[in-house]
Chain A
Amino acid sequence: KAGVTQTPRYLIKTRGQQVTLSCSPISGHRSVSWYQQTPGQGLQFLFEYFSETQRNKGNFPGRFSGRQFSNSRSEMNVSTLELGDSALYLCASSLAGLTSDTQYFGPGTRLTVL
């Protein structure tokens, strides 16, 4: 089975722009979660989608949004980029998002905001 894929792998944007990141889960997985990783804050949960519905959301401003499509692929969008948004964005998929499910992570998208 193919693993979780994320595109693009690297992005450079300037302040004020917006960006869309994409995540394709493992085939058959219906839950997709997004995380932001920075040296200062570590790994922080952004949101989780299951069957095209946002089920959980972390403590991030409304500039961060996401969606999930009927094939379970997910996108996240960050509008009005700030320097502090520079981070590694990781998505993870699991079968159903249950506590007993393992989350499988993609390689991440490295976003640099100048």
Chain B
Amino acid sequence: DTGVSQDPRHKITKRGQNVTFRCDPISEHNRLYWYRQTLGQGPEFLTYFQNEAQLEKSRLLSDRFSAERPKGSFSTLEIQRTEQGDSAMYLCASSLEGIGNTEAFFGQGTRLTVV
């Protein structure tokens, strides 16, 4: 399968613990996005990378959140000192930069539950 893959698919953690999620985009895509989706809502933008550069961050991305894409391929999203409000589906998407090439392909997401 050459789509976007995310790992793990599900994560249950205790409040205050740190968690890290991984996203492997489609190999030739140089844009990678992270979104958060809570129950009954549309996905909300968190951050995006063009190659290894993090170009934009949402105000939703508090200082407990950090994202990296060290070699311009896979990306990780870390949440430190998790809170119950962090419980959500975390979605990763990738796209090919270029005129009209803004179609994004989404992974199936990592569902985080903070207890």
Indicate whether A and B interact.
Answer: no
A interface residues with partner B (beta carbon < 8 Å): none
B interface residues with partner A (beta carbon < 8 Å): none
